[in-house]
Amino acid sequence: MTATTPYHRALQLLQRNGIARTRDLEEAGVSRTAIRRLCESGELVHVARGLYRLPGAPQTERQDLAEAAARVPGGVICLLSALRFHGLTTQNPFEVWMAIDRKAWRPRVAHPPLRLFYLSGPPLEAGVEEHEVAGVTVRVFSAAKTVADCFKFRNKIGIDVALEALREYRRTNPKRLEDIWRFAQIDRVTRVIQPYLEGGA
């Protein structure tokens, strides 16, 4: 094969980015027909709607987030996965932690493994950021919202994880503690978090 074949154009793109959208492959000169044939021959793996990777390619944490976002478009990366994204924890979850609407349908996803949390209203809508990961828009709770969420879900993740997140946030954002307080009000955990905010935990 020459370097101008659809396979090699797809290969170059995926070796560089890890995963790619249909649009990215088309812009690289790989037609939809060629994408379908490469999938049928096993040279590409269709991981989610409009999302592809190379077979056997090592997965990174960020690629797992991108795949999860593509498979669950309404979801928001939360708690341990969001802490990891923002560099606020030493925890390394093997699942992608994601919040979805209480009324949403429960997605059936084989990979990446998901751990779902059901929220609604302001706790689901507040503090959502959008980040581009391998060409995919990934919705992630902000660092401050994630810290507040850790106190809300302290019985599931452990108060030690919440305190570690608060310490790291305080170290990296010492002048933005009021953001945590604002999200703590939304999460209704002000009484829980107040002693730690005031005590310099």
Alpha-carbon dihedral 171, 172, 174, 175, rounded to 10 degrees: 180
Render pLDDT for 22-65 as a digit per residue (tens, 0 to 9): 888 888 888 888 888 888 888 888 876 777 877 876 666 678 88
Residues 72 and 133 grouped into a single domain: yes
Residues 35 and 71 grouped into a single domain: no
Residues 138 and 177 grouped into a single domain: yes
Residues 82 and 48 grouped into a single domain: no
Amino acid at 183: F
What residue numbers bound the domain in which 97 lies?
61-199
Residues 11 and 45 grouped into a single domain: yes
User: How many distinct structural domains can be found in the chain?
Assistant: 2
**Contact by Cβ (8 Å): 139, 128:** yes
What is the predicted pLDDT for the residue at 61?
A: 66
Q: How far apart are CA 164 and CA 179, in angstroms?
A: 17
SS3 195: helix
Residues 163 and 94 grouped into a single domain: yes
What is the predicted pLDDT for the residue at 134?
A: 72
* 1 domain residue, yes or no: no
**Contact by Cβ (8 Å): 127, 54:** no
* 87 domain residue, yes or no: yes
Render pLDDT for 158-168 as a digit per residue (tens, 0 to 9): 999 999 999 99
Residues 29 and 128 grouped into a single domain: no
**Cβ burial, residue 108 (10 Å; 0-12/13-18/19+):** exposed
pLDDT at 3 over 80: no
How many angstroms separate the Cα of 167 from the Cα of each of 125, 151, 177, 196?
25, 13, 11, 9
